[in-house]
Structures are given as C-alpha cells and as structure tokens.
Structure 1
Amino acid sequence: MTYWGLNAVFLAVVAVVGIAAVVVHGRRSAGSSPDRRRRARLATVLVAAILLGMTAVFDNVMIGIGLVGYDASKISGVFVGIAPLEDFSYAVAALILLPSLWVLLGGRRNGAGRDRAGHDAVGRDSAGERA
C-alpha cells in the first residue's frame, strides 16, 4: 500500500466529520454577521498557513537528520523540500478534524466560558448577577 492509500483511509473519515461539522455550524450560525464570517475565514486561512509552514520546516528537519524515512517505492515523488507531499496530509487532517470536533461537541458558543443562557461557571450572568 502506498502512503496516499493509507492517507486516503483516514482522510475519508476526516472528510465525513468535516462535512457534518459544516452542516451543524451552518444551522447554528445562520444569523451571524458578514463581518464575523469574514473574520472567521481570515483566522482559518492564517492558522492553515502557519500550520502548513511549520509542518514544512519541521518535517524537512526530521527527514534531513534521519529521524524519519520513507520507502521511495511508496511515495508519489512530489516533494516540498525533502519532505514528500504525502507527509502534509496529517497537518491537513488536523486542520479539518480538530475544529470540526469542536463544532460537533459543542465548543464555546456564547462568549468565554458561558453556557447557552449566558451564565458563567458559577451561575452569574453577563452583568455579574447571580442567576
């Protein structure tokens, strides 16, 4: 089995979870402002660029010092530096899976540490009054 074949198995699972999160998030944020959606897209692009950039650097270092190696007959032959392209699938999976699980498991919805009714962990509302 090639590395892409192995990646396809777990990336398929990640894709299903990601699609489910998009559907759930779409229902929850139907009334959100365009400015909020724009900021969320910008944050997503920024985090993706940072993670993929760091992956490129650290994977090249690990491969360069011999910590990690790949069977040449099982890689595609496309490289970023000396790291095979297949190696980036783990970072892509993390970029999709972690936020998707956050959405599906509830995450933080109404501000820092507040429940659906707007109360904090000790039961105070946003004005500091006990509920």
Structure 2
Amino acid sequence: MTYLLLSTPFVFAALVLFGIGAAHARRRDDLRRYLSAWGASTAVLLVLTTVFDNIMIAAGLFDYREDGISGARIALMPVEDLLYPIAGALLLSGVWQLLDAARAPGGHSDA
C-alpha cells in the first residue's frame, strides 16, 4: 500500500468536514475569515513539516520505502508527507468552525 493511497480517506473525510464548516461560515458571513485562517495555518504547517521532516530523515530517524512513495521529493521528504498537515488543517478548521457555531447563542458568534 502506498502512502498516497493510505492518506486518501483521511484527506477526503477532512475535506467533507471542512466543506461543512465552510457552509456554516458562509451562513454567518464569515467565509473570508474562515478561508484565510485555514490558508495561513496550512502554510505554516507545510513549511514546518517540510523543514522538520527533512531534518529527521537526514538524521536517520526514519525513511520511506521507495515502492511506497511516488518518487517525487522535496529534498529528502516525499511529497505525500504534505498530505498529513493539509488533512489536519482541513479537519481542525472544520471542527473549530462547527464548535464555534454550536457554542454561540443562536448559532452566531460575536467574535
């Protein structure tokens, strides 16, 4: 099984939850803030993942089977490794939005 195939259901589930969160944000006229917060957090996660995965691979802490990756790499790190922070940011953004909507009186937040 490849890492891309292993990541696919998680990314799909995260996209569904992110979409539900986006629908809630749109109803609250908060979609721009929702998307920009996701974009900023995703960018930070991608940079940190790229830097630290390369450091850990270079230090010999772990590596990937060649038959489990696409072959495309950013330095030492396979590009599939970026799916985890993307899925995490999608999932957490959706959950945060839904929790904020549930917490606010009447489903609307003043924040």
Kindly indicate whether residue 72 of structure 2 is the aligned counterpart of residue 78 of structure 1.
yes
Q: CA deviation at 1:43?
A: 4.5
Aligned amino acid, residue 72 of structure 1: E
| Structure 1 gap segments, 5+ residues each | 112-131
Which of 72, 83, 86 matches 1:89?
A: 83
Which residue of structure 2 aligns with residue 128 of structure 1? none
Within 5 A, what are the aligned runs for 1:45-124? 45-106=39-100, 109-111=109-111
Alignment: residue pair count? 105
User: Structure 2 regions of 5+ residues with no counterpart?
Assistant: none
Residues 8-47 of structure 1: pairs in structure 2 closer than 5 A: 8-29=8-29, 37=32, 42-47=36-41
Counterpart secondary structure, 1:66:
coil
Larger Rg, first or second structure (1 or 2): 1
Larger helix percent:
2
Stretches of 4+ aligned residues off by more than 3 angstroms:
39-46
SS at match of 1:77: coil
